[in-house]
Amino acid sequence: MNRTINRTINRTIISTESAPAAVGPYSQAVKTGNLVFCSGQVPLVPGTKSLAEGGIEGQTRQCLENLSAVLEAAGTTLQNAVKLQIFITDMKDFPKVNAVYSEFFEGDFPARFCVEVPALPLGALVEIDAVGICE
């Protein structure tokens, strides 16, 4: 027996000028209940269409700063992230990404994965997304 249950799902679209605008048909983040789902952030400097300088380290730092801004707009912080996904174009950069990543977290780290991909939007070297908890 198939049953259809109609439920209204409350969701809030999160948008902030403190992070780059979406470069496609998606939202910076969507909040539902106490969870916020952040779209992948490439290392664009907010207010510009330029990738962050400084190679993989500078780009990783910019991605995490952008994610922090989106999470703050949703009412939480990067410290309340429970899962991050990292996409890099060269696995040889993994140690450098880890070094920058560790600067952004205190205490227990969120769950995470990192994979190498052949290319990322706008020629970025790294892209990072996150799921966070709002209190």
Residues classed as catalytic: 114
Amino acid at 97: V
- Phi, psi (deg, nearest 5) at residue 120: -130, 160
Q: Name residue 87's amino acid.
A: F
CA distance 125 to 118: 10
Q: Are 78 and 130 in contact (CB under 8 A)?
A: yes
Q: Is 31 left (phi over 0), alpha (psi -120 to 50) or beta?
A: beta
